Chains A and B, each alone.
Chain A
Amino acid sequence: MIEILSVRAGILKIPSCTIHPGICAIAGPNGAGKTTFLKLLSGILPVKSGSVRIDGKEPSLCTIGWVGEYPDRNILFPRVYDELASPLRFTWQSCESSDLKVRKCADDLGITHLLDRDMHGLSGGELILVAFAAACIASPDLLILDETDSHLDERFCHQLEEYIRRSGIRYVVFSTHRPERMAIADEMIRLVRGEVAEHLPLTEEADHTFPDHLSNPWFWRKVQTELSKGGT
């Protein structure tokens, strides 16, 4: 579990909140504290009062992967291969082992052909894939996606979701403004003015007492399930 207890940080006021292993979506209006919340979970924002624990450990002692809306702002190395290898090299993994992991990760995400390319000159979508790969390569305890879907098409989002499910990463927390993206989550937290206004599990079978509506994650779940059954 990720356990947040009596936290006050920036705009956030959270008496208690528990996130289960799986995928958690963070929703809420602009300025509600979504990015602050993600920073809190990742340990980027240290807590002055209260505590955050990921399976009992402080976030700063965990391995965290982070992909933002504009990954080109966080690039460290000019070559794709080196960018992918960097999280492994920073933790003193051997060249042989990191080379194997880079090639496996690139293969899983279908970006082997990009390994020798310059980061500069990649298309927007390629850049996100590389940033995503670099965030996942060190098998993080927690993967954070901060509005990464803002510039992605439907099929692309689907590809990332499949990878996330296969990767076995224990916690994935993502923020989004797109209602249809909520449907892939196992639970959902809605923040309003720094407080948890809603915290729902989305794991049970779709409850059809919910009305069909574009802001309803269950509705999107139904759309996706029926389309995948039809094979279209």
Chain B
Amino acid sequence: MNTPQIRLTGVSRKRGAFTLQADAEFGAGIHLLTGRVGSGKTTLGELLAGIGEPDFGTIQWNGGRRVMLLQDTSYHISTMTVQEEAGSWHGDAERIIRTAGLTGKEHTDLLRLSRGEVRRLELAAILTGQYDLIVLDEPWAGLDEEARRWVRQLIDSHAHEIIVIISHDLTSLPHIDQLWEMECGRLKQLGQVPACLSKWTKAPPLVRYLLNKGVHLSGLSREELEEAVCRIPG
């Protein structure tokens, strides 16, 4: 199996007063892209997924280029029922419905599902498909604790592909390999987790708190954070 890789060389894209700039290489593994609201994370996700084009620079692929992007789910429904929606993806509707935990609701109208159920259906379809790159833009929005755990477990089984997670919600993450930060349109690679965590100047409060307390952090996943919290001295 070819391990996929994407290389962005001199990529830039201008929208009004905002300019996105990126030089980067994304390999197989789970990447977390953080940064402030409006810093350009979603725009980068769109460029990676190929639904936006850079003004300058190139985006090169190695080893396949099947791509899927998750954004705001409620805009993505294209059919009437759970069965039809699952069937509109990649052929294995039964597996999608089973993964989403919607067995027994095959004939339910999509508009009668809760927001969380619709999102589970789409995530199940994306994460059971054969993609080389999956960009997940705020995958936890609107999901409760149990569903968040489910998404984490689903993502954890995808280390052979390139997964890019864009999120502000840093207490629900799966295991993360690489950390990236977007700052006013500039993409910066912070490095391999956990080695880069101590140099993360804009780390979220919990990470700063743990590092201040001298607690070693083995990673950013929910489980790793919980484990670190148990080791707070005093």
Contact = CB atoms under 8 A, between A and B. Distances in A.
Interface of A: 28-31, 69-70, 121, 123-126, 128, 147, 150-156, 177-180, 212-215, 219, 223-224, 226-227, 230, 232
B38 A177 contact: no
Nearest to A178: B169
A31 B116 contact: yes
Contacts of B222: 214
Query: A28, A155, A177, A226 — which one has the most chain B CB atoms within 10 A of its CB?
Result: A177
A215 B145 CA distance: 10
B232 interface: yes
A75 to B, nearest CB: 16
B158 to A, nearest CB: 23
Q: Nearest 5 pairs between A and B by C-beta?
A: A125-B37, A30-B116, A123-B38, A150-B141, A29-B144
B226 interface: yes
A151 B38 contact: no
B138 A150 contact: yes
Interface stretch (B3-11, B57-65, B83-91, B206-214): B206-214
A124 B36 contact: no
Given A212-B229, A214-B229, A232-B212, A153 B168 contact: yes
Contacts of B114: 30-31
A224 B38 contact: no
A124 B115 contact: no
Contact of A213 (B36, B38, B205, B226): B226
Given A30-B117, A124-B37, A151-B37, A177 B142 contact: yes
A214 B144 contact: no
A182 to B, nearest CB: 12
Contacts of B116: 30-31
Interface in B135-180: 138, 140-148, 168-169, 171
B52 interface: no
B206 A180 contact: yes
Quick one: which of A28, A154, A215 has the most chain B CB within 10 A?
A154
Nearest to B213: A226
B227 to A, nearest CB: 11
B68 interface: no
Contact of A154 (B145, B205, B209, B230): B205
B143 A152 contact: no
Given A123-B37, A152-B168, A214-B229, A30 B142 contact: yes
A155 B230 contact: no
A80 to B, nearest CB: 15
Interface string B189-225: 0000000000000001110110010000000001001
Contact of B37 (A152, A177, A178, A219): A152
B39 to A, nearest CB: 9
A180 B205 contact: yes
A69 B38 contact: no
B36 A153 contact: yes
Contact of A224 (B140, B143, B205): B205
B79 to A, nearest CB: 22
Nearest to A123: B38
A227 B144 contact: no
B205 A223 contact: yes
A188 B91 CA distance: 45
A159 to B, nearest CB: 10
A214 B144 CA distance: 14
Given A123-B38, A156-B37, A219-B229, A29 B145 contact: yes
A151 B171 contact: no
A30 B115 CA distance: 8
Given A30-B114, A123-B37, A154 B232 contact: no
B225 A214 contact: yes
